[in-house]
Amino acid sequence: MSDDRRLAVLRAIVEDYVSSHEPVGSKTLVERHQLGVSPATIRNDMAVLEDEGYITQPHTSAGRIPTDKGYRLFVDRLATVKPMSPAEKRAIETFLHGADDLDDVVDRTVRLLAQITRQAAVVQYPSLTRATVRHVELVGVGGRSALLVLITDSGRVEQRVLDVRSAVDVESLGVSLAALRTRVNATVAGKRLREARDGLTDLVQQTPPADLAIAAEVAAALGDCLTASLEERVVIAGTSNLVKSGPDLATSLGSVLEALEEHVVLLRLVQEMAEDPTGERGALTVRIGAENLHLGLDGTSVVTSGYGSDGVLARLGVLGPTRMDYPTTMAAVRAVSRYVSRILAQ
- For residue 70, pLDDT over 80 is answered with yes
| Mean pLDDT confidence for 311-338 | 89
Task: For 85-101, write each residue's pLDDT tens digit.
Answer: 888 888 898 998 888 78
Tell me, what's the pLDDT at 108?
94
Mean pLDDT of 7-29: 91
Say how many residues make up the chain: 346
3.30.390.10, 3.40.30.10, 3.30.420.480, 1.10.260.40: CATH of 133-230: 3.30.390.10
pLDDT band at 55 (very low <50, low <70, confident <90, very high): very high
How confident is residue 193, by pLDDT bands cut at 50, 70 and 90?
Answer: confident
56-60, 173-177, 285-289 — which is least confidently predicted?
Answer: 173-177
Instruction: Tell me the average pLDDT across 275-301.
Output: 78
What's at 260, amino acid-wise?
A: L
Kindly indicate the confidence band of residue 60, based on its pLDDT and cuts at 50, 70 and 90.
Answer: confident
| Adjacency order of strands within the sheet including 300-307 | 234-237, 120-124, 314-321, 300-307, 285-288
In this predicted structure, the answer to whether residue 312 has a pLDDT above a threshold of 60 is: no
Q: Where are the domains of the chain?
A: 4-76, 86-127+232-345, 133-230
User: Does position 157 have pLDDT exceeding 60, yes or no?
Assistant: yes
pLDDT by residue (tens digit) across 238-262?
999 988 877 777 678 888 888 888 8
pLDDT per residue as tens digits for the range 260-281: 888 778 888 887 887 765 544 4
pLDDT of residue 278: 54
* 86-127+232-345 CATH fold: Beta-Lactamase (3.30.450)
Output the pLDDT for position 280. 47
Note the CATH architecture for domain 4-76.
Orthogonal Bundle (1.10)
Q: What are the start-end ranges of the H helices in the chain?
A: 4-20, 26-32, 39-51, 68-76, 86-96, 102-117, 170-188, 193-198, 200-205, 212-230, 240-243, 253-261, 263-274, 326-345
Long-range contacts of 280-286, Cβ-Cβ distance < 8 Å, separation of 24 or more = 281/306, 281/312, 282/306, 282/307, 282/308, 282/311, 282/312, 284/81, 284/330, 284/333, 284/334, 286/75, 286/326, 286/330
Share of the chain above pLDDT 70, in %: 92
- 320 backbone dihedrals φ, ψ, rounded to 5°: -160, -170
Average pLDDT, integer, range 175-199:
88
**Matching CATH topology for 4-76 and 86-127+232-345?**
no
Mean pLDDT confidence for 90-118: 90
Mean pLDDT of the chain: 85
Whole-model pTM over 0.85: no
